[in-house]
Amino acid sequence: MSGEIIAEYLEILERVGIGEKRIERFEEVLETFGIVSKLSLGKLPTESRDVDDNVMLATALAGKAQFLVTLDKDLLHISESDKKKFKFSIVTPVEFLNAIGE
């Protein structure tokens, strides 16, 4: 997980009306406990039509992910030729569960 993604998660939680104390606790969990690996991102890819989503692609690349699981249409609709540039699959949650045999 990158610092940029943590910031986006916190912003979204605030936007959807999650209380400030719960958001602070979530941030504390991410910062304190060893459940999250933080990555430094290199150059951001440019394949998503939403430039804000390119940080998700960069984080998946830097983290050597096998899957980027999302419902974001801008990420899901990246062209097949552009998807081949990545070493991970961009899938919906249902596709992910099917891929891992759930």
Q: Enter the DSSP assignment of 91.
A: E
Q: Check residue 29 and give its pLDDT.
A: 77
Q: Enter the DSSP assignment of 24.
A: H
Q: Check residue 34 and give its pLDDT.
A: 53
Answer yes or no: pTM beyond 0.75: no
Same domain, 49 and 78: yes
**How many structural domains are present in the chain?**
2
Q: What is the pLDDT of residues 10-63, one digit of tens each?
A: 888 888 888 899 888 888 877 776 556 666 777 888 899 898 899 889 988 888
Same domain, 52 and 100: yes
Same domain, 47 and 92: yes
How far apart are the C-alpha atoms of 13 and 75, rounded to whole Å? 21
Name the residue range of residue 91's domain.
43-102
